[in-house]
């Protein structure tokens, strides 16, 4: 656990606690918004290139990828489905908990340094990246955390 102690020491336990609380709030708000969408049977999107395994008597398992026939990818409700919709069904900029999480992370350089590739941060310091690309990628990195967590939660516990 020495590695975790180094991480906590560099960021600070109260910062990590607040970050955790904000992510948890975003997951809760996201789940509350996803449930009616899923129950209305609106198309959200599926995982594509989903791995599948079949077994035949006396043979090795056959592992292959299926195209667009995986389970529902609930993150698509927040991001939009490729070529299917005109954008996200639940825009994260309309969710207060996501806005709070984004504002907190953007104000904390220690957390930003954990979310962005070092080359991008170094590029910003030397003006090699445009601020728009930086902000878009950072916002995507931040919002991906609760989106992926709520998707895993739904598939693990089969509930909203």
pLDDT tens digits, 19-42: 999 999 999 999 999 999 999 988
Question: How confident is the model over 13-22, as a mean pLDDT?
Answer: 94
Mean pLDDT of 89-102: 94
- pLDDT, residue 45, reads 84
> What is the distance between the alpha carbons of residues 129 and 116, in angstroms, rounded to a whole number?
13
Residue 136 has pLDDT above 60, yes or no: yes
What residues form DSSP beta bridges with 47? none
Report percent pLDDT > 70 for the chain.
79
Helices 131-157 and 13-39: crossing angle in degrees, nearest 10, is: 70
Distance from C-alpha of 109 to C-alpha of 36, rounded to nearest angstrom: 36
**With 60 as the cut, is the pLDDT of residue 124 above it?**
no
Tokens of 113: 């340094």
């Amino acid at each position: 656990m020495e590695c975790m102690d180094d991480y906590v020491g560099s960021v600070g336990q109260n910062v990590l606690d607040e970050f955790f609380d904000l992510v948890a709030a975003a997951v809760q708000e996201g789940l509350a918004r996803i449930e009616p969408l899923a129950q209305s049977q609106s198309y959200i999107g599926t995982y594509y290139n989903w791995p599948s395994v079949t077994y035949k008597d006396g043979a090795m398992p056959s592992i292959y990828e299926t195209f667009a026939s995986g389970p529902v990818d609930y993150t698509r409700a927040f991001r939009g489905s490729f070529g299917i919709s005109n954008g996200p069904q639940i825009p994260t900029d309309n969710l207060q908990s996501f806005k709070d999480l984004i504002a907190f992370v953007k104000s904390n350089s220690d957390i930003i340094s954990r979310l962005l590739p070092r080359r991008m941060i170094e590029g910003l310091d030397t003006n090699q990246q445009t601020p728009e690309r930086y902000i878009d990628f950072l916002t995507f990195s931040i919002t991906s955390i609760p989106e992926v967590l709520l998707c895993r939660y739904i598939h693990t516990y089969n509930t909203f």
